[in-house]
């Protein structure tokens, strides 16, 4: 066991488990009192002890044993448990640990950049939300910002905390509101793993196997030994490929959870459709690392904002995010109606969390007849001087959510010159035209970073921006 690891193990044992300063049995920080374990999946517990030491782990009448290897590592897998608790986990090695108040339910990873890291205390109606936050079966653990040059087996954390007024202000807001909606519907404990960092790109969160899985990222995959980048002082560039996977994801690779929610993309604005390839790498890699090939991956489409540079760079990211729905078992919460063009951090995180939860309830938890998405472009047909747009997820029908005429539609002919268009709902379609374009060939909707369009379904979920062309 290396010196750095020995130090971490001792710190965790003292700080989190209140055991003897001379104890040898230790566990990673993600495993501790107040945690939520994933229901209906094997319960995996691991840690470290003296080489050759027998370790016994028991919970809820089930037990498993392991013997540490030459590096002092041990791991056990116990039988699945149904939702419920509280339970106590007993670990007996060269010392004894007792983890109390452990629940079993649904666990989700909450990752991305600042809009996922954004806390309840900075969200809409913060004081009211905090005052009404006593939900002891919603639990949260937050990992610190930690780039690393190598995959870490353990990093310090805040430990698992119950949702209550004195703690919830520091929870990820999107994660908390997602969990709150799930708990109302499922009536079981919900655990949140907060591993996020404002301003970060997608590349540092991606695992080696993820890069290898996507041919478009061959330049990284073929040179993984060069990542993450380290300066002459030995400091790791936290924006470099692998850096945050190494430091903030790898450490809980054995911990079973249901799926991930992801809010990121602002720092990759300008990538265009390459962002889709990077999203594929992220998802493929995490599914590989966590040995869960069908792991649900739900993400947030960015809101309109006044970025510098090209006004279509953001729509191109919207397009890439929508394309990511082609990846199996994914879902996208559209936020064009709840953003703030003057604030890159929209404070309405309640609706964001709810919209992610709708995707989970429908596709992960099998709730039937649930409208979980706003309209998504399906196809178009040109007849004369009009183009008819068909959609998936029309729900109970299409409307302009503000009661006005449909906004932010454009149409172009073969000259590729887009002009503002009239758009009207006809059944489950939208018919688009302009007297300035006699022979239309393409339609764009909300194709501008400041667009706050109004097409929605009657279920209150907005349509995603789209274009029917692929012109540069």
As a CATH number, domain 3-102 is 2.60.40.10
Q: Give residue limits of the domains in the chain.
A: 3-102, 107-364, 376-463
Q: Which residue has the tokens 């709840």?
A: 338
Report angle CA 241, 245, 248 to the nearest 5 degrees: 135
Confirm whether pTM is higher than 0.85.
yes
Determine the pLDDT at residue 23.
Answer: 52
Q: What is the pLDDT along the chain (472 residues), one digit of tens a residue?
A: 444 344 344 444 434 443 333 358 999 999 999 999 999 999 999 999 999 999 999 999 999 999 999 999 999 999 999 999 999 999 999 999 999 999 999 999 999 999 999 999 999 999 999 999 999 999 999 999 999 999 999 999 989 999 999 999 999 999 999 999 999 999 999 999 999 999 999 999 999 999 999 999 999 999 999 999 999 999 999 999 999 999 999 999 999 999 999 999 999 999 999 999 999 999 999 999 999 999 999 999 999 999 999 999 999 999 999 999 999 999 999 999 999 999 999 999 999 999 999 999 999 999 999 999 999 999 999 999 999 999 999 999 999 999 999 999 999 999 999 999 999 999 999 999 999 999 999 999 999 999 999 999 999 999 999 999 999 8
Using CA atoms in the order 278, 283, 286, 290, what is the torsion angle rounded to 10 degrees? -170
User: Residue 158: what pLDDT?
Assistant: 87
Q: Which residue from 267, 270, 284 is spatially nearest to 214, judged by alpha carbons?
A: 284
The whole-number pLDDT of residue 8 equals 41
- E strand intervals along 288-362: 297-300, 330-333
Please give the CATH number for the structural domain made up of 107-364: 3.40.50.1110
Both structure tokens of 233: 């002082």
* Six-digit token string for 341: 């063009």
């Amino acid at each position: 066991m290396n010196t750095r690891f020995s130090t971490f193990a001792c710190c965790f044992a003292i700080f989190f488990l209140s055991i003897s300063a001379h104890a040898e049995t230790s566990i990673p920080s993600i495993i501790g009192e107040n945690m939520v374990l994933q229901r209906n999946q094997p319960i995996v517990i691991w840690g470290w002890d003296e080489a050759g030491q027998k370790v016994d782990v028991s919970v809820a009448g089930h037990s498993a044993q392991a013997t540490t290897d030459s590096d002092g590592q041990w791991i056990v897998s116990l039988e699945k448990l149904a939702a419920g608790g509280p339970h106590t986990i007993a670990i007996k090695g060269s010392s004894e640990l007792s983890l109390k108040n452990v629940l079993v339910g649904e666990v989700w990873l909450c990752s991305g950049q600042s809009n996922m890291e954004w806390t309840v205390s900075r969200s809409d109606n913060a004081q009211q939300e905090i005052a009404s936050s006593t939900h002891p079966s919603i639990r949260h653990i937050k990992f610190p910002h930690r780039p690393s040059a190598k995959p870490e087996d353990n990093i310090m954390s805040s430990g698992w905390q119950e949702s209550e007024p004195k703690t919830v202000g520091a929870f990820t807001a999107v994660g908390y509101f997602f969990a709150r909606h799930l708990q109302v519907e499922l009536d079981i404990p919900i655990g949140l793993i907060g591993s996020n960092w404002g301003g970060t790109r997608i590349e540092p969160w991606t695992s080696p196997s993820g890069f290898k899985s996507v041919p478009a990222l061959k330049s990284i995959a073929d040179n993984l030994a060069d990542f993450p980048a380290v300066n002459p002082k030995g400091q790791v560039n936290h924006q470099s490929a692998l850096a945050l996977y190494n430091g903030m994801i790898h450490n809980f690779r054995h911990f079973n959870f249901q799926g991930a929610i992801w809010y990121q993309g602002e720092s990759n604005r300008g990538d265009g459709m390459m962002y889709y390839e990077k999203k594929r790498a992220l998802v493929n890699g995490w599914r590989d690392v966590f040995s869960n090939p069908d792991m649900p991956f739900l993400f947030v489409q960015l809101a309109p904002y006044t970025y510098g540079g090209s006004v279509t760079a953001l729509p191109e990211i919207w397009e890439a995010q929508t394309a990511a729905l082609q990846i199996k078992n994914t879902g996208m919460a559209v936020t064009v109606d709840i953003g703030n063009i003057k604030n890159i951090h929209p404070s309405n995180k309640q609706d964001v969390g709810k919209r992610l939860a709708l995707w989970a309830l429908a596709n992960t938890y099998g709730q039937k007849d649930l409208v979980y998405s706003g309209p998504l472009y399906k196809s178009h047909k040109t007849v004369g001087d009009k183009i008819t747009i068909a959609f998936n997820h029309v729900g109970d029908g299409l409307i302009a959510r503000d009661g006005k005429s449909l906004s932010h539609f454009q149409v172009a002919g073969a000259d590729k010159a887009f002009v503002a268009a009239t758009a009207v709902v006809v059944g489950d379609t939208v018919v688009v035209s302009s007297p300035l374009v006699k022979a239309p060939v393409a339609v764009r909707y909300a194709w501008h970073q400041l667009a706050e369009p109004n097409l929605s379904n009657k279920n209150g979920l907005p349509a995603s921006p789209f274009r029917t062309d692929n012109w540069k």
